[in-house]
Amino acid sequence: MGILTQKRRGASIPPPPTPFGGGPGGSHSSFPISTAYVGTYVLMTAIIMLFAGLSSALIVLHGVPQWQNITVPNSVWANTMVLLASSVAVEFARAAIRKDQQSSLRQWLAISGLLGVAFLVGQVFVWRQLVNAGVYLSTTIHSSFFYVLTGAHALHLLGGLVGFGIVMYRAFANRLTAANHEPLKVWALYWHFMDVVWIYCFLLLILA
């Protein structure tokens, strides 16, 4: 293209003023964190702010006299264990790919994905339990927050399952290697983050 071949500017350009100058090339802009990771951190920040907004509303409304606690079903505890187990499976998958054990990677990945789906099914079960007990979205402010917070978390987990599909596809296409498995690492970060968000919401709801 030759688009950078403008006429040479001045043979006697003095050194640029400090502190912005520097020699040819100057400081490198190679950012220490990869694009995929930065993108994921940014996404996680947005999700943190969403849940911060929702939980600040919970904290404010917790102070109104009409606040009435609902009984959170015990099955939520079992469900929490399922989600944590899913995260543990992801770590086994990562350990497998670090040793380049492809079949072990696929097994552990499949287990973690299935546990994620099991958690979502379990959540539907929890909501149905509540409905059967006569606790609806609008029953009390506490129940409203229970449905909104767990629902928002479930939607974000569903988004995580899309990421799981991509990682799973790559694992079966043999495109994850011991040296380069960033998609798995990025997805694992998000998946663990979903655990943290879940535990935060869960604690907020049972301690309220």
Partner 1 sequence: MTDTQGHHHEGEHAHPQLGFWRKYVFSTDHKVIGIQYLVTAMAMAVIGGTLSLLMRLQLGWPHGSWPFLASLMPRAFDSQGHMNADFYLSLVTMHGTIMVFFLFTAVLTGGFGNFLIPLQIGARDMAFPFLNALSYWIFLASCIVIFSALLVQGGAPLGGWTAYAPLSALPAAGPGQGTGMTLWITAIALFTASGLMGGLNYITTILTMRTKGLSMMRLPLTQWSLLITAVLGLLAFPVLLAAAILLVFDRVGGTSFFIPGGIVLNNKLIEHTGGHPLLWQHLFWFFGHPEVYIVILPAMGIASDILSTFCRKPIFSYKMMVYAMVAISGLSFIVWGHHMFVSGMSPFLGSVFTITTLLIAVPSAVKTFNWLGTVWGARIQFTSAALFSIGFVSMFISGGLSGPFLGTSAADIQLQDTYFVVAHFHLVMAIAPLFAAYAGLYYWFPKMFGRFMNETAGKIHFWMSFVGAYCVFFPMHIIGIGGQMRRIYDPLNYQFLVNQQIVNVFISISAFVLASAQILFLVNFFVSIWAGKRATENNPWKATTLEWEVPCPTGHGNFGPELPVVHRWAFDYSIPGATEDFVPQTAPAVPAQQERH
Q: What angle do CA 197, 157, 121 make, to 5 degrees?
A: 110
State the SS3 of 138-185: CCCHHHHHHHHHHHHHHHHHHHHHHHHHHHHHHHHCCCCCCCCCHHHH
**For residues 96-125, which are near partner 1 according to CB under 8 A?**
none
Q: What is the smallest separation between the CB atom of 29 and partner 1, expressed in angstroms? A: 4
- Closest approach, Cβ 114 to partner 1, in A, equals 29
Mention every residue, 6+ apart, whose C-beta is less than 8 A from residue 54: 145, 148, 149, 152
Q: Does 52 bind partner 1 (CB under 8 A)?
A: yes
Burial-class residue 66 by CB neighbours within 10 Å (0-12, 13-18, 19+).
Answer: exposed
Out of 1, 162, 173, 207, the residue judged to bind partner 1 by CB under 8 A: 1
Query: Which residue number, 46 or 173, has a Cβ lying nearer to partner 1?
Result: 46
CA distance 190 to 200: 15
Task: Tell me: does residue 22 bind partner 1 (CB under 8 A).
Answer: yes
Distance of closest approach, residue 52 Cβ to partner 1, in angstroms = 7
Among 72, 97, 141, 205, binds partner 1 (CB under 8 A): 141
Shortest Cβ distance from residue 161 to partner 1 (Å)?
19
The CA distance from 31 to 80, in Å, is 37
Segment contacting partner 1 by CB under 8 A, of 51-59, 85-93, 126-134, 172-180: 51-59
Angle at alpha carbon of residue 52, lines to 46 and 57, rounded to 5°: 135
Q: According to the binding rule CB under 8 A, does residue 162 interact with partner 1?
A: no
How many angstroms separate the first and last alpha carbons of the chain?
Answer: 65
Question: Does residue 50 belong to the site contacting partner 1 (CB under 8 A)?
Answer: yes
- Positions in the binding site for partner 1 (CB under 8 A): 1-6, 9-17, 19-29, 31, 33-35, 38-39, 42-43, 45-47, 49-54, 56-57, 60-61, 64-67, 136-138, 141, 144, 148, 152
